[in-house]
Structures are given as structure tokens and as C-alpha cells.
């Protein structure tokens, strides 16, 4: 088997390294930063507050287990997690507080009690979400959509045939409004799932209404030691399988000759490789590492997903009413998405997401304190005046959470760090700091994402959140599986 190089130690690159090592390749991972993880890094602030830097919600944990099993290990001995219950605490601007319980019946009862929507209607909606997921997800997420042979399989043809029925002509928001015409708060709650891949519920097709099933049906999970433990345990596995990680060694060019990949030039050396997998965002992979080659312009021009503005706050008090995932909704959701996707700015009153892990992992904050990861959805970087937007949004966030909790939260901040879209791009090379590559606002988005292989250069493959099947931990893990399958074939 030929030696393989992987550019980037994000979760997609790490998972690909494990799979290729198991397939018998000698694997070297080149990482620009001093450590692995990419968006899935961790940080510790003065005073002893630990945070997961990027992702906080973990679904489909069996995709991590699968890697340990493939290596002949018992997953639980290397990576442990538990199902979250409750999943999320929702705070509405009118003072209503709603708990999303893991059990669908219990959640439906809670919605009936707090929002007045009959529980059977909620269960019916969740069932439709499950049916849509079952009809399409495996097919669209687990195979390359860019190989003719994919379309020869019966299950793919069945899934394609199901698409129009599942909603290609209406938006997620229209679907949710039709399901709950009398209750805008429940519409807002389900619309929020569009943000799970950085999209706009007022544009994204209704097929994405399958996303709630991921969380409500299949479950939200929390790894022991935090989300970072996913990357950490898989890097350990990769190293045990012989993968070599070369940190602080950015790749500057992918070398090619006569339509094939021949090697890499890094800041330190030139290497021969006939097999290269880029886990770097696909846009800078073409613009910076393959600048002598023609680029797939139409693919690279697809609109980006949203980005994020995150405040990491060490908070000098405990809030028993808060859980791991907490949402403080804005008054006007439409305004918020118009601001992000049309006006390329942040609404004056954005929805605020607060992730707190110290309740689960007490070592994540000092006794009596909490580690707040406070996130607002924002546009990707297009040269906005970020210092002004960050300062304004910080005030809006503090005002919203302080009002909902009846406490001046600003007075409780003991440590602080901020990550904005230019910062996300600087650290991970993600184009514009977009969290999930291209957005899924377009009906054809799944087909317009870059394939997991190069259509021009033999020996070049792509994994991670900017290519098929998309962003988010589970999809990055699936991209690694597709790449390994393509290479094996």
C-alpha cells in the first residue's frame, strides 16, 4: 500500500488517518498548529476554566465507537460518553422556560404544558422527522454523490425518489409553521435546527426538518472529559496504529505532475507522496496549495455557512436552572437570519446559546463557578468591522441572559476569551471562518458540495466539514469513511 499524507489534524483528518492506517497505509499527518483538533480544540483560561473551543453538541457517537471496533478495541475502554437528559433548556423572551427532555413523550408533554400545543401533534412532527431521516440520511451521508456507481444502487434511487415528498419546494420554516400554525415559539424551536449545519431556516429546504430526529430521536451525548476527548482518544488510537503527526508543519503546496499528485512542500521539507488527503477547507486547498491547477470555480463559489462569535466566560456563580445546552431566544428570529445571510451582519438582538460543562465535569471550573461557552450565530467574514460588532453583541448577549436569569451576569465574569470569524479562519484555515463549509440553504446543496476526491488529479482526496457530506462531527467522521472506501476501491 502506498504511503499517505493527510493535510490537517481536524476530526476528519484524524478519522481518515485511523482508517488508512488500518487499511495498511503508512500515514503522516501534517498539521499547521501546535496540536490536533482544529475546530475541536480545547482551551483553559486563568483561574482554571476549561472549555471545548468549538463543537459542543455530540450526536451519532457510534461513529466514533466504530473506529475503535475496526481497530479491534473495545470502545468503552478508550472513549466513554453518556446520553444527555435533559438535552436543552429553552428560555423565551416572554419568560417561558421549556425543558427538552430526551424522552420524546416527556418532551411532548412539556410542550403541551408550557406552550399549549397538544402532545400528539408534537409526537407526530417528531415521527415525520424520523421518517424523513430514515428515508434519506444513510444514503445521502454515507456514499459519494459524485460517483456514477452510487446511482446504480436501489436504496439511492429510492431515497432520491422520496426527496420531493419530503419537501424540496418548501422551506424548513414553512414546514414548521404548517405543523404548528398557532405556536410561533415551537416553530422557532424547530427552526433552530437549521443552524446545526450553519443554514437559514427561512431558505433551507424542508428536507432538513429531519435534523431534530438526530437530537430528539437518536439522542444528544456528552463525552467523558468533554468533546475534546473525541479528538484526543482518536489521535491516541492513530498513534498506536503507527500514524505520525507532524505539528507546526503547514503544507504550502500540493505537488503535481501529469495529472497526478506527486508530493507535498511544507514549511520544512519536500516530501514524495502519491496519495494525499486534504482535511484543510477546500477553498484554501485550491487557492493556496493548488494555485497552479484549475479550480472548480462553481463549487468554490457556493455560499458559505454561518460562522460564530464565541465568548468563553469563567462565571463566578452557579446557576442550577441551567443545563449543558441552554438557548435564550431572540424576539425576532427572521430578523436574525436576514441579518446573517442578507445583510452580513449581526442582529441587534441575537439568540444566545450557552454551553456549560462544569455541571457534568466539575474539574472544568473552580468550586462554585461555571465555564460558560456563549455563542451567537454570525455571518462568515467578509471584511465586516468585527471589533465594533463584537463589542455591540457582547452587550446584547449580557442584556438577554441577565434579563432571563434575573442577575447581572456581566458582574460575574472572572475570565474571558473571544473567538470571532477572522480568528476562526486564522486558526483553522476555514474560508471566512464558516463553521460548516458551504451552507445548505439551497435545495441542491448536497450535490454542489465538493466531492471527496479530485476530479482532475489522481491520488488527491478530501475529507472534513467543507466537502461531502458536510460539516459537523458526525458528517466529518462519515467523510473519512467515504475517503477510505474510495481509496480502497
Positions in the binding site for ligand FAD (CB under 6 A)? 7-13, 30-33, 38-40, 54-57, 250-251, 279-280, 308, 310, 424, 428-430, 435-436, 464-465, 471-473, 476
Q: First CA to last CA across the chain, in angstroms? A: 12
CA dihedral 26→28→29→34, nearest 10 degrees, is: 140
Burial (CB count within 10 angstroms: exposed 0-12, middle 13-18, buried 19+), residue 360: middle
- Residue by residue, DSSP assigns 415-476 as EEEEE-HHHHHHHH--GGG-SSSB-S-STTHHHHSBPSB-SSSBTEEE-STTBTT-SSHHHH
* Cis upstream peptide for 86 (omega within 30°): yes
Nearest CB to ligand FAD, comparing residues 31 and 200:
31
- Please, what is the minimum distance in Å from the beta carbon of residue 437 to ligand FAD? 8
Q: Which is nearer to ligand FAD, 179 or 352 (CB)?
A: 352
Peptide bond connecting 425 to the previous residue in cis, omega within 30 degrees of 0: no
Place of cell 450526536: 59
Length of the chain: 489
b or e along 65-81 (b: 16 or more beta carbons within 10 Å of the residue's beta carbon)?
bbbbeebeeebeebbeb
| Residue 251 C-beta: closest distance to ligand FAD, Å | 4
Residue number, 31 or 364, with CB nearest to ligand FAD: 31
Pairing status of strand 27-30 against strand 4-7: parallel
Residues 356, 373 contacting (CB under 8 angstroms): yes
Give a three-class secondary structure readout of 104-123.
Answer: HHHHHHHHHHHHCCCHHHHH
Q: Which CB, 180 or 328, lies closer to ligand FAD?
A: 328
Select 350 or 465, whichever has its Cβ closest to ligand FAD.
Answer: 465
Q: Which residue lies nearer to ligand FAD by CB, 184 or 250?
A: 250
Q: Which residue is nearest to ligand FAD (CB)?
A: 10
Shortest Cβ distance from residue 280 to ligand FAD (Å)?
4
- Give min distance, CB of 464 to ligand FAD, in A: 3
H helix or E strand, kind and range, residue 338: helix 333-341
Closest separation between CB of residue 101 and ligand FAD, Å? 19
Alpha-carbon span 225 to 81, nearest angstrom: 9
The nearer residue to ligand FAD, 201 or 471, going by C-beta atoms, is 471
Q: Shortest gap between Cβ of 40 and ligand FAD (angstroms)?
A: 4
Between 180 and 358, name the residue whose CB sits nearer to ligand FAD: 358
- Nearest distance, CB of residue 309 and ligand FAD, angstroms: 9
Nearest to 137 by CA among 444, 443, 478: 478
- Smallest gap from residue 362 Cβ to ligand FAD (A): 22
Amino acid at each position: 500500500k502506498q504511503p499517505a499524507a493527510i493535510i490537517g489534524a481536524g476530526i476528519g483528518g484524524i478519522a481518515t488517518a485511523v482508517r488508512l492506517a488500518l487499511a495498511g497505509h503508512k500515514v503522516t499527518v501534517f498539521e499547521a498548529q501546535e496540536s490536533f483538533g482544529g475546530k475541536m480544540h480545547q482551551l483553559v483560561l486563568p483561574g482554571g476554566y476549561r472549555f471545548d473551543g468549538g463543537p459542543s453538541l455530540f450526536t451519532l457517537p457510534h461513529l466514533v465507537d466504530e473506529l475503535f471496533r475496526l481497530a479491534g478495541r473495545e470502545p468503552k475502554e478508550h472513549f466513554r460518553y453518556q446520553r444527555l437528559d435533559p438535552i436543552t433548556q429553552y428560555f423565551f423572551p416572554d419568560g417561558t422556560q421549556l425543558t427538552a427532555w430526551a424522552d420524546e413523550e416527556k418532551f411532548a408533554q412539556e410542550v403541551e404544558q408550557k406552550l399549549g400545543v397538544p402532545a400528539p401533534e408534537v409526537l407526530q412532527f417528531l415521527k415525520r422527522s424520523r421518517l424523513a431521516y430514515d428515508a434519506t440520511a444513510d444514503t445521502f451521508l454515507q456514499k459519494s454523490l459524485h460517483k456514477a456507481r452510487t446511482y446504480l444502487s436501489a436504496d439511492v434511487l429510492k431515497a432520491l425518489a422520496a426527496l420531493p415528498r419530503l419537501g424540496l419546494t418548501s422551506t424548513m420554516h414553512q414546514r414548521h409553521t404548517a405543523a404548528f400554525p398557532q405556536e410561533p415559539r415551537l416553530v422557532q424551536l424547530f427552526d433552530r435546527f437549521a443552524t446545526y449545519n450553519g443554514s437559514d431556516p427561512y431558505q433551507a429546504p424542508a428536507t432538513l426538518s429531519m435534523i431534530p430526529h438526530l437530537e430528539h430521536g437518536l439522542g444528544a451525548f456528552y463525552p467523558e472529559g468533554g468533546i475534546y476527548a473525541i479528538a484526543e482518544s482518536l489521535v491516541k488510537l492513530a498513534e498506536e496504529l503507527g500514524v505520525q503527526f507532524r505539528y507546526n508543519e503547514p503544507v504550502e503546496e500540493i505537488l503535481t505532475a501529469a495529472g497526478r499528485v506527486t508530493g507535498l512542500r511544507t514549511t520544512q521539507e519536500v516530501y514524495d507522496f502519491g496519495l494525499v488527503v486534504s482535511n484543510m477547507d477546500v477553498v484554501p486547498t485550491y487557492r493556496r496549495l493548488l494555485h497552479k491547477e484549475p479550480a472548480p470555480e462553481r463549487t468554490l463559489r457556493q455560499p458559505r455557512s454561518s460562522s460564530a462569535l464565541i465568548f468563553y466566560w469563567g462565571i463566578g456563580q452557579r446557576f442550577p436552572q441551567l443545563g449543558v445546552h441552554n438557548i435564550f431566544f431572540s424576539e425576532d428570529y427572521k430578523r436574525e437570519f436576514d441579518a446573517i445571510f442578507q445583510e452580513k451582519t449581526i442582529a441587534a438582538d441575537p439568540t444566545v446559546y450557552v454551553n456549560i460543562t462544569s455541571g457534568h465535569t466539575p474539574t472544568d471550573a473552580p468550586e462554585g463557578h461555571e465555564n460558560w461557552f456563549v455563542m451567537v450565530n454570525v455571518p462568515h467574514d467578509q471584511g465586516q468591522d468585527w471589533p465594533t460588532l463584537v463589542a455591540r453583541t457582547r452587550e446584547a448577549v449580557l442584556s438577554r441572559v441577565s434579563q432571563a436569569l434575573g442577575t447581572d451576569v456581566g458582574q460575574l465574569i472572572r475570565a474571558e476569551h473571544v473567538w470571532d470569524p477572522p480568528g476562526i479562519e486564522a486558526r483553522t484555515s476555514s474560508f471566512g471562518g464558516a463553521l460548516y463549509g458551504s451552507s445548505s440553504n439551497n435545495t441542491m446543496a448536497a450535490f454542489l458540495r465538493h466531492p471527496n476526491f479530485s476530479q482532475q488529479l489522481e491520488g488527491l482526496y478530501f475529507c472534513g466539514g467543507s466537502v461531502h457530506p458536510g460539516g459537523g462531527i458526525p458528517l466529518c467522521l462519515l467523510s473519512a469513511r467515504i475517503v477510505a472506501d474510495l481509496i480502497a476501491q
